[in-house]
Amino acid sequence: MRREAVKRLAVAIAVIAAVSGACGVAAAAQHETGGLHNARYCEILEVRGALPNVVVTVWNTIGLNRCPARQWNALDANELADELGDTAVILNGPRHFLMDAASGRLGATRSFHGLRTRKAATIDIHTAAELVQAPYTERTINRHNTWRWKRGRLVYELVAPGGTRYLMQSYAQIRDPHLRIGQLPSLRDRLSLPEGWRYRTRRLQRDFVLRASGTATVIQDDFQNTYQREP
């Protein structure tokens, strides 16, 4: 894959690949992780192959560590790609989860220069159109997850013109390293929402569960905050 194609691929995948650590197609047992609200995590994305058969494997730190800044900042994506024999490596983070607990199938664990991670998901890229960076555009991620929010928790949603709702699963400190959870209620003032879209904040009146059984539909906003489509 030529350097320019790799660059476009990296940009696209960084936009679409924030996923839950509660995942793993090959694993047997279900596992639940609590205490996730505002928990910092990071992801390492291994890109292999070339169009039309690109496969991205996502490795996530959740449940293993809080992505220590010293270890995370020491990683170099190009050096990792050379070391691992990958087409490209994308460092996706830091991010912070917003649910309270997550359960799903555990994936295999792996260490990248001492940073422990777990296999979280895979992403298939088949066409050049999928390499276009497009906020507010749906993407399909292969994963299993069950996420739980407690009653009384403040949640953040995007609402499409037809009424489809997307619940924010994580906020990112990639484009804005200073973004904090306390700034999310007023985030609408900073978003370039498409015509007819709304960003809203609401407080849950009861416990809420959001599931993905094999695939999840996600979108991201201008700041690479990630949302999963609600039923």
DSSP state, 19?
A: -
Q: How many residues are given for the chain?
A: 231
Mean pLDDT, the chain, integer? 86
> When comparing pLDDT for 205 and 21, which is higher?
205
* pLDDT for the residue numbered 132: 64
Q: Which two tokens stand for residue 135?
A: 């906020």
Residue pair 159/197 in contact (Cβ under 8 Å)? The answer is: yes
Strand pairing partners for 50?
A: none
* pLDDT for the residue numbered 142: 75
The 8 Å CB, 24+ separation contacts for 67-74 are 67/40, 67/41, 67/42, 67/93, 67/94, 67/115, 68/115, 69/94, 71/113, 71/114, 71/115, 72/42, 72/115, 74/113
d(CA 81, CA 67): 20
**pLDDT classification of 127: cutoffs 50, 70, 90:** confident
* pLDDT for the residue numbered 1: 45
Give Cα separations from 208 to 30, 83, 91, 149, 182 (angstroms).
19, 42, 30, 5, 21
Mean pLDDT of 166-177: 96
For 132, list phi and psi in degrees, rounded to 5.
-80, 130
d(CA 59, CA 182): 28
Least confident segment among 51-65, 120-134, 184-198? 120-134
SS3 184: helix
Q: In this structure, is the dihedral angle defined by the CA atoms of residues 53, 220, 117 and 120, taken in order, positive or negative?
A: negative
Q: Which amino acid, one-letter code, is at 87?
A: T
Q: Which two tokens stand for residue 175?
A: 């484009």
* pLDDT for the residue numbered 61: 95
Q: Is the backbone of residue 152 left (phi > 0), alpha (psi -120 to 50) or beta? A: left
Q: In this structure, is the dihedral angle defined by the CA atoms of residues 81, 228, 30 and 67, taken in order, positive or negative?
A: positive
Q: Indicate the helix (H) or strand (E) that contains 215.
A: strand 208-220
Start-to-end CA distance of the chain, whole Å, equals 38
Of 128, 147, 153, the residue nearest 218 (C-alpha) = 147
> When comparing pLDDT for 131 and 105, which is higher?
105
Q: Which two tokens stand for residue 95?
A: 């991010």
